[in-house]
Amino acid sequence: MASNGVLDARERSATLSRLTAERFDVLVIGGGITGAGAALDAASRGLRVALVEARDLASGTSSRSSKLIHGGLRYLEQFDFKLVYEALHERDLLVSKLAPHLVKPVSFLYPLYKKVVERPYVGAGLALYDAMEGTRRPVPHHRHLTARGALRLAPALSPARLAGAMRYYDAQVDDARYTLTVARTAAAHSAVVATRVSAVSLLRGPDGVRVTGARVRDEETGRSIDVSAEAVVVCAGVWTDLVHELAGVRAGYRVRMSKGVHIVVPRSAVQADTGMIVRTDKSVLFFIPWGERWIVGTTDTDFTGDRAEPGVGAEDVDYILAAANRVLVRPLLRSDVIAVYAGLRPLVEAVGEVNGSKGAKGAKPTTKVSREHVVDVPVPGLASIAGGKFTTYRLMARDVVDAAVADFDREVPSSVTDQLPLLGADGLAAVQAGAGRLAEDYRVPYAVVEHLLSRYGTLAGEVLDLIAADPGLAQPLADGHPYLRAEIVYAVTREDALHVEDVLMRRIRLFIESADSGIGVAAEVALIMGRLLGWSRRRRAAETRRYLDLVAAEQTTPAGASAGGASAGGASAVGASAVGASAVGAGAAVPDAVLAGAAAAG
Ligand SMILES: Cc1cc2nc3c(=O)[nH]c(=O)nc-3n(C[C@H](O)[C@H](O)[C@H](O)COP(=O)(O)OP(=O)(O)OC[C@H]3O[C@@H](n4cnc5c(N)ncnc54)[C@H](O)[C@@H]3O)c2cc1C
């Protein structure tokens, strides 16, 4: 064990030196959940591992999901029993053993509208869903409800046509935080984790065929580094085809991108004490409780634009609002929308022989393309994986590492990650039981300890130690949000945050939780980060500006139209609400004020 999983942004040059100096058994390309999982899987088998991520950990799809750890009820309808069975077993393992601090049970109401036919059909599906669980059963079984019972739990539902409901349980997670925690756990098993480092070409051995590493570029300086490894594992999500191209290989599958958009609305906009799932013409719509908010989504449409910025269009938001309003008694308005975000599903389509599980074929609608994963070894020394779900990342990681080490000239132990709690999980119950004492010892409110435990598990004490050393860090970062200034320091010194967006979009989630996307505190975050990373006044202003530009790009339609813009018809699109008003629609006024704050501070 090299370290306790500390990813210190201040030590970045030492991390990069290790990339050049060491020879690795496995080099992982991509720091989403699949790549972080593969790094952990390989490192915990005793292999020497490096992971390079072109942007920030989880900056791709792995921070933009519905944040459910679930079997996927709708896949039962597609007879994808294997996927559902595996996913439910994974869900139970994560909730009960591997990450109980991060993966938490959540209940869903499934309203029924067809009196006679629907209940037996959905009931049978849910009975099967429950029966497929593992033996741990960390979440309760489903229950039948009358229409009156459903309305008691969810007064937001329109009583018209409501025939009853089912209530069942799944689990939810902060996807970006989970990915980060997996990467840190890999680092705790000696993996070298380097962000803002892109693979730009693959190295070949003396035979000109076998892949023996990768040339990578440090995106902060432009410097190139050759990283040697016995095998390279590609976990690049929707970028996978591009990595195959730069490697000059033809894999047995292609990635088909499907865009999914979510909107975020205040909790008060939908009165319900449970999550909800409702049928739509094409798929299902989730109302997912998220602290003081709801995440509502998602869409599922083919996508061919810029992978880094899928963008949210007015039509995406309108689709979600219309689908939601079909079941709500008080309709959701555009002005209810606090935030929007888009992600790209890396679905797989087989184009030939694939060395792994089967791939989905043909030009089906994206809703019908299988969520199973595909592993391929297109040339010796190179294994690649795509498809799958966040929920099944551990199995995906196991499969791709198995493929990568299959031709090693020595025995490599099997995967042990089903036995390996993530950082922050071990001893959680005792730390939770002592939460009151922690609050007294550190002289912070009990709610602060609860908040930290739910994000860092047993590592919460590390954040509290920062507060003990500098009580000013106990101050909340933004009014109405639980995040503390100490968490910014922690993000830089333990969680590898290099830029303001790493903090506001992924370490804490103000980008999706705050009506101003976190713009109002961007300068403050730059100030705290800058003290640690030695940023000048000019650099702080540049970092703040960079964040504002990113927010604008993320919340703008791919065609470039303003998300809050009049082009889509008055107050259309993503709201008259804050997204449009502060980040995109109102243009330069807010950014200038924020930048002035950045320059004045400190
Ligand atoms: C809208 C939506 C909702 C979803 N909801 C759920 C859900 O509720 N539950 C669930 O289980 N699953 C869900 N999923 C699926 C799940 O989110 C994805 O399967 C998963 O996040 C994919 O992770 P990944 O690591 O494969 O890809 P990514 O997270 O995209 O990671 C790939 C990484 O590779 C990096 N990269 C690319 N090229 C290079 C290079 N040359 N060098 C270095 N790094 C590179 C990228 O920067 C990126 O960070 C959802 C997906 C979407 C889009």
Taking CA 323 as the corner, what is the angle to CA 68 and CA 371, rounded to the nearest 5 degrees?
40
Residue 115 burial class via C-beta count within 10 angstroms: exposed 0-12, middle 13-18, buried 19 and up: exposed
In short, whether 65's Cβ falls inside 6 Å of ligand 1 is yes
Residue 29 in contact with residue 229, Cβ under 8 Å? no
Expressed in angstroms and rounded, the spacing between residue 338 Cα and the centre of ligand 1 is 24
Query: For 390-410, what is each residue's pLDDT tens digit?
Result: 999 999 999 999 999 999 999
What pLDDT is stored for residue 594 in this prediction?
A: 45
In short, whether 53's Cβ falls inside 6 Å of ligand 1 is yes
In short, whether 298's Cβ falls inside 6 Å of ligand 1 is yes
- The Cα–Cα gap between 555 and 558 comes to 9
Best mutation site among 34, 57, 61, 220 for ligand 1 pocket (most ligand atoms within 8 Å of CB): 61
Residue of 553, 545, 525, 533 lying closest to 591 (CA atoms): 545
Expressed in angstroms and rounded, the spacing between residue 207 Cα and the centre of ligand 1 is 33
In short, whether 196's Cβ falls inside 6 Å of ligand 1 is no
- Helix residue spans in 189-311 (DSSP H): 240-247
Query: For 232-277, what is each residue's pLDDT tens digit?
Result: 999 999 999 999 998 888 888 899 999 999 999 999 999 999 999 9
- The Cα–Cα gap between 568 and 559 comes to 12
In short, whether 62's Cβ falls inside 6 Å of ligand 1 is yes
Expressed in angstroms and rounded, the spacing between residue 364 Cα and the centre of ligand 1 is 21
In short, whether 237's Cβ falls inside 6 Å of ligand 1 is yes
Best mutation site among 27, 57, 64, 66 for ligand 1 pocket (most ligand atoms within 8 Å of CB): 66
Mean of pLDDT values over 213-231: 98
In short, whether 142's Cβ falls inside 6 Å of ligand 1 is no
Expressed in angstroms and rounded, the spacing between residue 53 Cα and the centre of ligand 1 is 12
What pLDDT is stored for residue 217 in this prediction?
A: 98
Burial annotation 342-372 (CB, 10 A radius, 16+ → b, else e): bbbbbbbbbeeebebbebbeeeeebeebbbb
Three-class DSSP category at 524: helix
DSSP letter at 187 equals: H
Q: 134-143, 434-443, 501-510: lowest mean pLDDT where?
A: 134-143
- The Cα–Cα gap between 520 and 503 comes to 14
In short, whether 166's Cβ falls inside 6 Å of ligand 1 is no
Residue 239 in contact with residue 230, Cβ under 8 Å? no
Residue 450 in contact with residue 104, Cβ under 8 Å? no
In short, whether 366's Cβ falls inside 6 Å of ligand 1 is no
Residue 286 in contact with residue 295, Cβ under 8 Å? yes
- The Cα–Cα gap between 525 and 307 comes to 27
Indicate the pTM of the whole model. 0.92
What pLDDT is stored for residue 81 in this prediction?
A: 80
What pLDDT is stored for residue 114 in this prediction?
A: 84
Expressed in angstroms and rounded, the spacing between residue 180 Cα and the centre of ligand 1 is 13
Query: For 483-538, what is each residue's pLDDT tens digit?
Result: 999 999 999 999 999 999 999 999 999 999 999 999 999 999 999 999 999 999 99
What pLDDT is stored for residue 572 in this prediction?
A: 30
Q: Which residues pair with 109 in a beta bridge?
A: 167, 276
Best mutation site among 52, 57, 62, 257 for ligand 1 pocket (most ligand atoms within 8 Å of CB): 62
Expressed in angstroms and rounded, the spacing between residue 77 Cα and the centre of ligand 1 is 24
**What Cα–Cα distance (Å) separates residue 377 from each residue in 250, 374, 404, 485?**
10, 10, 8, 45
Q: Report the mean per-residue pLDDT for the chain.
A: 88
Q: Considering only residues 139 and 164, tell me which one the structure prediction assigns the higher pLDDT.
A: 164
Best mutation site among 249, 263, 309, 390 for ligand 1 pocket (most ligand atoms within 8 Å of CB): 390
Expressed in angstroms and rounded, the spacing between residue 65 Cα and the centre of ligand 1 is 8
